[in-house]
Chain A
Amino acid sequence: MFLRFLDSDLWRFARLRPGMQFGFVVVIINLLLAVLGPAIAPYPVEAPAGASLLPPSRSHWFGTDVSGIDILSRMIAAPRIDLTIALVSTTIAFVAGVGLGVISGYFAQGEKPGRIVSAGIMRIADIVQAFPMFVFALALVGLSGPSTTNVIIALAFLNIPFFLRITRGTVLQVRSRTFVEAAICAGNSELRAAFAHVMPNALAPALVHFSTTIGFSILLTAGLSFVGAGVPPPTPELGLMIQVGAQNMITGHWWTALFPGLMLAVSVLAFSLFGDHLRVFLDPTNRR
Chain B
Amino acid sequence: MHNRFLLFATKRLLFTIPQLFAVSVIVFFLIRLLPGDPSYMLAGPYASPDRIVEVRGQLGLDQPLVTQYFNYLARIFAGDFGTSWRTSQPVLADIQLRLPATLELVVLAVLLSIGIGIPLGVAVAVSEGGVLKRIVFLYGMLAGSLPDFWIGLLMILIFFYFLGWAPPPVGQLDFAVSTPDHVTGAYALDALLTGNWETLRSALAQLVLPVATLVLVYMPLVLKTARSTMEEMLESHFILQARASGLSRRMQLRYALRNALPPIITVIGIEFWFLLGGAVLVETIFAWGGLGQYAVESVINSDYAPLQAVVLVTAFFTTLVFLVVDLLYHLLDPRIRV
Contact = CB atoms under 8 A, between A and B. Distances in A.
- Do the two chains belong together in a single complex? yes
Interface of A: 19, 123, 126-128, 130-145, 215-216, 219, 222-223, 226-229, 242, 246, 249-252, 254, 257-258, 261, 264-265, 268-269, 271-273, 276
B318 interface: yes
Nearest to B291: A135
On chain B, which size bracket covers the interface? 35 or more
A77 to B, nearest CB: 19
B252 interface: no
Contacts of A128: 26
B314 A144 contact: no
Interface string B126-157: 00000000000000011011110110011011
Contact of A261 (B23, B150, B304, B307): B150
B150 A133 contact: no
B296 A130 contact: no
Given A127-B19, A227-B296, A269-B141, A143 B34 contact: yes
Interface string B280-297: 110011000000100110
Given A242-B147, A257-B153, 5 more contacts: A131-B311, A132-B314, A135-B277, A140-B30, A272-B144
A269 B35 CA distance: 36
9 contacts: A130-B19, A131-B311, A133-B277, A142-B307, A143-B307, A215-B145, A223-B147, A227-B284, A257-B150
A130 B156 CA distance: 33
B277 A132 contact: yes
Interface of B: 19, 22-23, 26, 30-31, 33-35, 141-142, 144-147, 149-150, 153-154, 156-157, 160-161, 169, 273-274, 276-278, 280-281, 284-285, 292, 295-296, 298-300, 304, 307-308, 310-311, 314-315, 318-319, 322
A223 B22 CA distance: 27
A132 B276 contact: yes
In order of increasing CB-CB distance, the 7 nearest A-B pairs are A132-B277, A261-B150, A134-B277, A142-B299, A143-B33, A268-B145, A269-B145
B309 to A, nearest CB: 10
B66 to A, nearest CB: 19
A226 B299 CA distance: 12
Contacts of A242: 147, 149-150, 153
A123 B103 CA distance: 28
A168 B319 CA distance: 23
A130 B161 contact: no
Contacts of A228: 296, 299-300
Nearest to A141: B299
B234 to A, nearest CB: 16
B267 to A, nearest CB: 15
Given A134-B277, A135-B310, A138-B296, A251 B285 contact: no
Q: Which of A138, A216, A272 has the most CB of B within 10 A?
A: A138
B34 A227 contact: no
B295 A273 contact: no
B30 A250 contact: no
A273 B147 contact: no
Contacts of B149: 223, 226, 242
B19 A272 contact: no
A9 to B, nearest CB: 23
Given A219-B147, A273-B141, A252 B153 contact: no
A127 B22 contact: yes
Nearest to B168: A250
B266 to A, nearest CB: 13
A181 to B, nearest CB: 28
Given A145-B35, A229-B299, A242-B153, A135 B314 contact: yes
Nearest to A226: B149
A239 to B, nearest CB: 8
Given A138-B280, A246-B153, A252 B147 contact: no
Contact of A143 (B280, B304, B314): B304
Contacts of B307: 138-139, 142-143
Given A131-B315, A132-B276, A134-B278, A246 B285 contact: yes
Contacts of A126: 19
Contacts of A135: 276-277, 280, 292, 295, 310-311, 314
Given A132-B274, A135-B277, A264 B150 contact: yes
A127 B276 contact: no
B158 to A, nearest CB: 9
Contacts of B298: 142
